[in-house]
Amino acid sequence: MKMVKLWLLIGIWLGALAAPAAPLFDMAAIRDASTLDVKVLKDWYPVRGEVMTRQKLITIRVGELVPGQEYRLPVRFIVPHDRKAKGFHLTGGHQLRNMQNSFPPRGLDVELLRGGVGLVFTVVQVLPASGQPELGRKAERRFIETLNPKHSIQYWGWPAALMRATTAAYAEKDHFEKGKVAMSGGSKNGASPSVALLQDDRLTALHASVSPIWPSPLRLCDEQAWGDLRKANERYAAKLRARGERVNERRIHNHAFLGGTFGPVYNRDALGAGHKWSDLQRLAKAMTPEVFVAPKLAELRKRGAEVLFHPGTHDFVAFDLAWGGKHYPEVPVYLRANSGHGIRKPHPAAERGEQNKAAFLLRHFFGGEGLLPPPRVESHADEDKVEIKVIFPEGTKAQSGQIWWMYDRGPDGSAAYLGELFPDDQSAPMKFQAKDNSWNFTLPREAGKKHIDFFSNHRKTIRRNGRAYNTYISSPYTRVSLR
């Protein structure tokens, strides 16, 4: 028994050392249509709807999350009835039980199909929801034992599914021709396309919500950051008790997502399996160029790829707005006040009727007027106020400016970060100044406060084919010290 345990520990150690060395994806294998092992469930057939389409349903072999056990997923193709599709909109946010059903396009999908753009659907869900629960359990155990990201559904499995679906679509040469490929989705369906976009130059755009964007210290498993987080959560629990509120200590200190590198937190399980913090740090460092869009934004733009993120202001996956706003202010984001996974109380001043996704995708595929670019922020704090200026590049014009602020918000990744919403009365219109194309506001400074967080949203109405699309861009999320 002792010898078995010894060999297990040696295997864990070797796996942890080896994991970062090999590329995360073999792109030649990802693009190899001959290994898809396509099984046709329903061959091409007509579907009536607001637009007439042709559709096909297949299953494909994605690859192996664990040796010797196949990972397969369904893929539905939808193209205009009278021509090939040039490029397509790729999404994974579909349920296994619904993939069997014909899809009558609506809304944005109708506009894309009328313009000759196809749709490709697959299933990016936890493996039990994909009909493969045992594979999911085996892959999770193997990942924790080895810290090899090729056994991880979030690092390897889901992005590979999207890229293999792309390979499957382009193998249908009578129905698809090469063109732009845009992805969209939220949560795992925002994170997985982020990885795929970085790996696969066939993919050209991403609209992602409530998903990771940048490699903050918590995501990189910095021990000091995790120590500070523990102390912050202890203070928050004490604050809640002092107010007479019930406190779920276990949830505050053991949230399944807060602090996770690229999804659920696996740190505790990995440490329990014999790994060290240095192993976690090594893996996170190796994954940074593979999964986080922000550090690679310039490279993506150089190849013509476009991105827009909706991280939410109170999301447990996109939990590091203050760090990201400071280090990557150039990333285009839209922040709907008091939004995120599970938020049920949007801010009363939050935008209604926002249409960023439709405008972004229509512009990407068909050209025309684009959304506002990210503005830059200048702020100055004196003894009684904070002066704020949000400046747009010359030649661009925002039609409105609205600011939100909060005093002493909890640190990124903390329970307080999620629990304390922007107060209803801490939002106001901003004032436009034409001479420098800026939106301005003076925030009051409250005695005894340590810092203030703020962001602003700005509207641009885009008109296409007789329709108006209300789009919004946010200023970089900013934290100003008041000490």
Domain limits of the chain?
A: 2-203
Q: Are 197 and 289 in contact (CB under 8 A)?
A: no
- Residue 1 is predicted with a pLDDT of 40
Average pLDDT over residues 408-425: 96
Phi, psi of 238 (to 5 degrees): -65, -40
Q: What is the reported pLDDT for 342?
A: 84
CA distance 363 to 349: 28
Q: What is the widest separation between alpha-carbon atoms in the chain?
A: 77
Helix axes 188-199, 158-171, angle to 10 degrees: 60
* 7: pLDDT strictly greater than 60: no
Q: For the chain, what is the mean pLDDT?
A: 94
The reported pLDDT for the residue numbered 343 is: 82
Half-sphere exposure of residue 203, counting CA atoms within 13 Å on the CB side? Answer: 31
Q: What pLDDT was estimated at residue 228?
A: 96
CATH class of 2-203: alpha beta
User: What is the C-alpha separation between 1 and 343, in angstroms, rounded?
Assistant: 49
In the predicted structure, residue 175 carries a pLDDT above the cut 60 = yes
Q: Are 315 and 324 in contact (CB under 8 A)?
A: no
Query: For residue 341, is pLDDT > 80?
Result: yes
pLDDT for 100 beyond 80: yes
Spatial contact of 214 and 323, defined as CB atoms under 8 Å apart: yes
pLDDT at 215 over 50: yes
DSSP letter (8 states) at residue 203: -
Which carries the bigger pLDDT value, residue 346 or residue 296? 296
What is the mean pLDDT of the segment spanning 100-105?
95
Indicate if the pLDDT at residue 21 is higher than 80.
no
pLDDT of 330 over the 90 cut: yes
Q: What does the pLDDT read at residue 436?
A: 97
Tell me which of 131 and 17 has the higher pLDDT: 131
350-376: average pLDDT: 97
Q: Is the pLDDT of residue 9 over 60?
A: no
* Alpha-carbon gap, residue 399 to 468, rounded angstroms: 14
**Is 90 exceeded by the pLDDT of residue 182?**
yes
Q: Which of 252-256, 333-337, 374-378 has the lowest mean pLDDT?
A: 252-256
CB 420 within 8 A of CB 409: yes
| Nearest Cα to Cα of residue 410 among 229, 185, 180 | 229
Written as one string, the DSSP assignment of 333-359 is B---TT-STT-----TTS-SS--HHHH
Grade residue 247 by pLDDT with cuts at 50, 70 and 90: confident
3 state SS of 304: coil
Bridge partners (DSSP) listed for residue 71: 63
- Residues near 201 by Cβ (< 8 Å), separated by ≥ 6? 303
E-assigned strand segments in 363-436: 376-381, 385-391, 402-407, 427-429, 431-433
pLDDT at 314 over 90: yes
- Spell out the alpha helix ranges (H) of 19-123: 27-30, 108-114
pLDDT at 130: 86
- Residue 413: name the closest of 239, 227, 276, 250 by CA: 227
Q: Following CA atoms 267, 271, 277, 280 in sequence, which dihedral angle do they give, to the nearest 10 degrees?
A: -50
The residue type of 146 is T
Q: Where are the beta strands (DSSP E) in 365-430?
A: 376-381, 385-391, 402-407, 427-429
Q: Pick the more confident residue, 349 or 344.
A: 349
Considering just the CA atoms, what is the radius of gyration of the chain in Å?
A: 24
Distance of CA 407 to the CA centre of its chain: 27
Q: Nearest 10 degrees: CA dihedral of 146, 151, 155, 161?
A: 170
**In percent, how much of the chain has pLDDT > 90?**
91
